[in-house]
Amino acid sequence: MAFINLSPVSVTANALSKDNGRVGNGHRILGSIGGVMDESMTTKVAGREVAILAGGCFWCLEAVFEQTEGVDSVESGYIGGARANPTYQQVCTGATGHAEAVRVVFDPAEVPYRDLLGIFFATHDPTTLNRQGNDSGTQYRSAIFPTSPEQRATAQALMAEVEAQQVFPGPIVTSIEDAEPFYRAEAYHDQYYQRNPDQGYCRFVIDPKVAKFRKQFSARLKASVR
């Protein structure tokens, strides 16, 4: 793969933070029911693979991958922490160790895992440790959770290639972590961008990421959203 304009979308210093209470109605919906462990992440589905990626707010990644050709489904959730069935509020404190992540079911015949990673690196900043824009904390870390040895090898090779080409202005801090239990996020996170297009965070943070994806990866758009 040739890496053309993989630099992440820039976010201004005054960009809204997801958790600072300034993004308008919607982002502080209190859910008492925690995430539910999804055993299906390890289930083999004929002709399909599962990718689990963390790159800041899961609303952003969901909005991008929902429009990606070859993707069957995108689920938001929590992974990489110590607490079972964490709630959104618990994860937002950073104390549980979980990352906000998406679980992507995809057809590798239509969109190879390597290409999904290319989209992933282009639509978030893999050079900022535990931060995306004004969203800070380990829950917003950049991380890849391979679900097979082949995925791990692909991620390692791709990261080494990107570093060698000096695609980004700084070193990549994306971690490659074991695919631990994935806990589905509360239902109100599902299709958040689609359901809240005028919400402040969606307009000022997610819109530019989606716009860049649609422009740079136009050949990877689902026919239904072209």
The CA distances from residue 19 to 96, 118, 137, 166, 168, in Å, are 16, 27, 11, 32, 27
Q: What are phi and psi of 7, to 5 degrees?
A: -60, 140
Q: Which two tokens stand for residue 40?
A: 């299906």
Helix (H, G, I), strand (E, B) or coil at 102: strand
| CB of 185 closer than 8 Å to CB of 58 | yes
CB crowding 153-166: b at 16 or more within 10 Å, else e: ebbeebbeebeeee
Instruction: Please measure the distance between the N-terminal and C-terminal CA atoms of the chain and give it in whole angstroms.
Output: 23
Q: How far apart are CA 161 and CA 164, in angstroms?
A: 5
- Percent composition of the chain: helix, strand, coil (DSSP 3-state, to 5): 35, 20, 50
Strand duo 142-145 + 175-176: pairing: parallel
Helix axes 207-216, 58-65, angle to 10 degrees: 30
57 is catalytic: yes
Given the residues 57, 60, 92, 202, the one annotated as active site: 57
Active site residues: 57
